[in-house]
Chains A and B, each alone.
Chain A
């Protein structure tokens, strides 16, 4: 009987479910039908991926793919609100797909629990119309861009860190791609990961929601307002949004230009000198052996009450969370200041002896740089030629937790 009342393919339950969206100007029946027919791939089931996938599921995007190789940890839940405590240890792609299906069982949600790499990207992307970058690292961002351009798919990109977020759309209506903007990857040491810099839940929530909205605009053909050739910047701490005009597609771009030279995917971790992950792995030794001390060696210094200085070079708010007893906090960014060097000299020069200086940080990465900086500063002055003993503690406080004392807090 309902065919007497309407001339479109939406059934009564769809009309009821999507009613508020259907009556919104710019969507309508045609928009809803386009959403139901659309296939969207979300790369990353983390802070951005959760709101993206859930809003797209709610909106009735007919096929949603979710790629993530990782598993749910309790430390994700302050921002990755598509998961929950019961999903700890489960695959994120499956966990988020389940949440989406619970929101809307009438669509198809497909989890892909593989790592998104040069080997898997094109095959995955080929099955979808639009790609959403919800990843958390530079190498994956270049990979997603190149794969999207090569497969000729629109890419909706979002990123976040601390209190800030950025959103734009690449490879849309002759707009730029990621490489048009950033032909050269940033030096690895300039990239701050969420696992190091921190990020707030509502920030990824805002950015992920904006990405979902761009997807809806693209599918429903509201093309004029799509954030192509424009970059939206959100500063959550200042409470400001700003949209700036960025360059158009660059004819000389290696992947989307007039004569592309990049015609197949490359080795992105090598190109970016950083892995397909924002996770911290064991830090390699970069400095001479004589500047390195293990956690066990430091423990024996403590056990034998040998006099020394313990310098913790983490940022202040990390030092406040936890620290080893009797450590002095001078963040690495302040280490080369004259006042810091003076403080260290005063601590280390003790009557007739010069105490050894041991440097610790979260994982034993920055402490290596600190050992080098301090070595240059202290041992270059005329009064003290090579008289300071400086060592960094390998694996840092994470190592202390793993090797010496599991009650030391990890964050």
Chain B
């Protein structure tokens, strides 16, 4: 399966400074939690605590599945399928 990942709000810094990624994974679907752990273990080179904290995505990051808030899709327990796009958006505070 192919999963599209989008990173913004500075999170791309954790992922080789690239905002868009396409990951190939085995199987037809994957629980989001497993995908997040896989991303952390395989792609976050420095400071993984800036991405995952207490078994989930850290506070201050909004997660979207196909442009819809993950809260509407089951949160960390959502199931991601082939071709889905998951976006991780770090909220900004500056002005």
Contact = CB atoms under 8 A, between A and B. Distances in A.
A308 interface: no
Interface string A314-333: 00000000000000000001
A193 B93 CA distance: 7
Which of under 10, 10 to 19, 20 to 34, or 35 or more describes the interface residues of B? Answer: 20 to 34
A248 B45 CA distance: 35
B29 interface: no
B46 interface: yes
A233 B89 contact: yes
A185 B60 contact: yes
Contacts of A238: 19
A166 interface: yes
A30 B94 CA distance: 35
Contacts of A187: 49, 53, 58-60
A244 B58 contact: no
A160 interface: yes
Contacts of A158: 95
B94 A184 contact: no
Interface string A25-55: 0000000000000000000101111000000
A245 B9 contact: no
B13 interface: yes
Contact of A244 (B10, B60, B64, B92): B64
B13 A141 contact: no
Interface in B6-45: 8-10, 13, 19, 45
Interface string B43-57: 001110110010000
Nearest to B11: A190
Interface of A: 44, 46-49, 133-138, 141, 158-162, 164-166, 181-187, 189-194, 197, 199, 204, 207, 231, 233, 235, 238, 242, 244-247, 250, 278, 333-334, 336-337
Given A244-B68, A334-B46, 13 more contacts: A136-B94, A136-B95, A158-B95, A159-B94, A160-B95, A166-B89, A187-B53, A190-B90, A194-B94, A197-B10, A204-B95, A233-B89, A235-B8
